[in-house]
Amino acid sequence: GENVEQHPSTLSVQEGDSAVIKCTYSDSASNYFPWYKQELGKGPQLIIDIRSNVGEKKDQRIAVTLNKTAKHFSLHITETQPEDSAVYFCAAYQTGNQFYFGTGTSLTVIP
C-alpha cells in the first residue's frame, strides 16, 4: 500500500517568516494530495489540495508544489501569522482507495 512520510515533525518560525513542510509518497498511482490544518481539539480541515496533473497551486499565503517524478509534495506558508500555529497533515489518495496521511507537523509561529 501507499506510504506517506512527512517532515519535519515540529517547526518553529518567527512571525512573518516562511514555513515549508515536505511529504513523500510511494505509490505512483496516487493522484490527489490534500493538506489539512488541525487546531487543538478539532477535526482537520482542508487548506489546499493539488491533483496529479498540476505542478503548483497557490491560494493567498499558502502554496503547494508537486513533483510526480520524485514523488514528493510540499506546503509553503508565507508571511506566517500566530493563527497559523496548528498541526498540519499531508495526505495521498488514489481514486477508489483510501486517504493515506502523513504523521503531522506541529507548526508554532512565534510573535
Partner 1 sequence: SQTIHQWPATLVQPVGSPLSLECTVEGTSNPNLYWYRQAAGRGLQLLFYSVGIGQISSEVPQNLSASRPQDRQFILSSKKLLLSDSGFYLCAWSVLFANTEAFFGQGTRLTVV
Terminal CA-CA length for the chain: 41
Report strand pairing: 10-14 vs 105-110: parallel
Which residues, 53 to 92, sit near partner 1 by CB under 8 A?
Answer: 89, 91
Of 46, 67, 79, 81, the one binding partner 1 (CB under 8 A) is 46
Of 71, 78, 99, 108, the one binding partner 1 (CB under 8 A) is 99
**Cα(8)–Cα(107) distance, integer angstroms:** 9
- Grid cell listed for 13: 518560525
Which residues, 3 to 42, sit near partner 1 by CB under 8 A?
Answer: 31-32, 34, 36, 41-42
Q: Of all helices (H) and strands (E), which one includes residue 2?
A: none
Nearer to partner 1, 53 or 60 (CB): 53
Nearer to partner 1, 1 or 111 (CB): 1
**Cα(78)–Cα(36) distance, integer angstroms:** 16
Nearer to partner 1, 14 or 53 (CB): 53
Q: Taking CA 102 as the corner, what is the angle to CA 3 and CA 90, rounded to the nearest 5 degrees?
A: 115
> Where on the chain is the footprint of partner 1 (CB under 8 A)?
31-32, 34, 36, 41-46, 49, 51, 89, 91, 93, 95-96, 98-99, 101-104, 106
